[in-house]
Amino acid sequence: MELHSVTLHGHRVGLRLAGEGPVLLLVHGMASSSAAWTPVGSRLAGRFTVFAPDLLGHGQTATPPGDYSLGAHATLLRDLLLVLGHERATLVGHSFGGGVAMQFAYQFPELCERLVLVGSGGLGREVNLLLRALALPGAEQVLRLFCRASLTDAGRTVVEWARRVGFGPTPAAEEIGRGYVSLTDPLSRTAFFSTLRAVIGVDGQRVSANDRLQLAADLPTLIVWGAGDPIIPVEHARRAHAAIVGSRLEIFEDVGHFPHCEAPERFARTVSDFVASTEPARLSQQQLRARLQALPS
């Protein structure tokens, strides 16, 4: 997956592109980047146009001051999709990116063909204690001490030594490590906290789509989760599956919070089979209006 960039609203946006065919828009999680999709992107590119952007404040995308809400991230995806000449896409969102994907489907239903939620946020209040602690006032100063360049250089040295003697880190650990390294940059740290506090508070996740999941009944939806997810409980997947009529649920055993990194072959196969066996939605504002009007008062 080749790394490209475009300028949008005066800001650089990094993105990875590969393949041809129906469009898969892959949305990474918090403190991550489009690089997280490289293992599965190379497997999916034989059948799809794979489009993986860096969200605002992440990867190679600019870190402007301002709005880092789900809606702002979803609007960036909409603008990128149109600038690149794509009319619709299947949205695949991991963790925080799952919340962005759901927001995108809610704001721009006419652009969304399918929805794939991977260890997604926005489906319940429970979330790992560390993320809740980072929502506390003053957490920025604590994290700054733990994200010094000298510490990350030492960490890279240990990882490289471990690889050479056959004890390389797991795919999940590598992805967490990339996120940790990204936070050594002060602007990236600021963007991280703006993003985090838009969706997480000290008492858990602040934003929930649970009261609107019934609106996804007309949208083919796949839910993928790791059975051992330590960040967001797998029970969120089961509840969402029960709430979204016609959705599919795939729980990967012996996998944690990063199914696309920990089991890329199975993940790519699961997504490919889901797309091949479902018809893309052709939703409109009129259909959404009808759904909203049909909700119980």
pLDDT digits over 114-167, tens only?
A: 999 999 999 999 999 999 999 999 988 888 877 765 545 545 554 454 455 444
Q: pTM to 2 decimals? A: 0.91
By residue range, what is the domain housing residue 134?
Answer: 130-199
Low-confidence ranges of the chain (pLDDT < 50): 151, 154, 158-159, 161-162, 165-167
Number of domains in the chain: 2
Based on the domain organization, do 192 and 264 belong to the same domain?
A: no
Based on the domain organization, do 103 and 144 belong to the same domain?
A: no
Based on the domain organization, do 211 and 85 belong to the same domain?
A: yes
Phi, psi of 161 (to 5 degrees): -60, -45
pLDDT score recorded for residue 184: 85
pLDDT score recorded for residue 161: 46
Give the neighbor-by-neighbor strand order of the sheet with 248-252. 2-8, 11-18, 49-53, 23-27, 89-94, 112-118, 221-226, 248-252
Based on the domain organization, do 96 and 49 belong to the same domain?
A: yes
Which has the closest alpha carbon to 99: 77, 83, 82? Answer: 77
Q: Is residue 296 in some structural domain?
A: no
Contacts of 122 (CB under 8 A, 6+ apart): 70, 98, 99, 102, 199, 205, 207, 208, 209
Which has the closest alpha carbon to 213: 203, 202, 221? Answer: 221
Q: Is residue 42 in some structural domain?
A: yes
SS3 category, 187: helix
For the chain, what's the residue count?
297
pLDDT score recorded for residue 104: 96
Q: Which two tokens stand for residue 84?
A: 């690149």
Q: Is residue 287 in some structural domain?
A: yes
Based on the domain organization, do 257 and 180 belong to the same domain?
A: no
Based on the domain organization, do 56 and 76 belong to the same domain?
A: yes
Based on the domain organization, do 33 and 116 belong to the same domain?
A: yes
Based on the domain organization, do 7 and 84 belong to the same domain?
A: yes
Q: Which two tokens stand for residue 142?
A: 């604590």
Residue at which a domain ends, from 141, 176, 199: 199
pLDDT score recorded for residue 167: 43
Q: Is residue 18 in some structural domain?
A: yes
Residue at which a domain ends, from 199, 224, 255: 199
What percent of the chain shows pLDDT beyond 90?
Answer: 74
Asked if 85 and 64 count as a contact pair (C-beta separation under 8 A), the reply is: no
Q: Is residue 297 in some structural domain?
A: no
pLDDT score recorded for residue 212: 86
For the annotated catalytic residues, the residue numbers are: 95, 229, 257
Query: What is each CA distance from 231 to 83, 217, 234, in whole angstroms?
Result: 34, 27, 9
pLDDT score recorded for residue 162: 45
Residue at which a domain ends, from 199, 226, 243: 199
Based on the domain organization, do 211 and 286 belong to the same domain?
A: yes
Exposed / middle / buried, residue 130 (Cβ in 10 Å: 0-12, 13-18, 19+): exposed
Which has the closest alpha carbon to 224: 251, 247, 201, 256? Answer: 251
Distance CA 241, CA 247 (A): 6
CATH number at residue 92: 3.40.50.1820
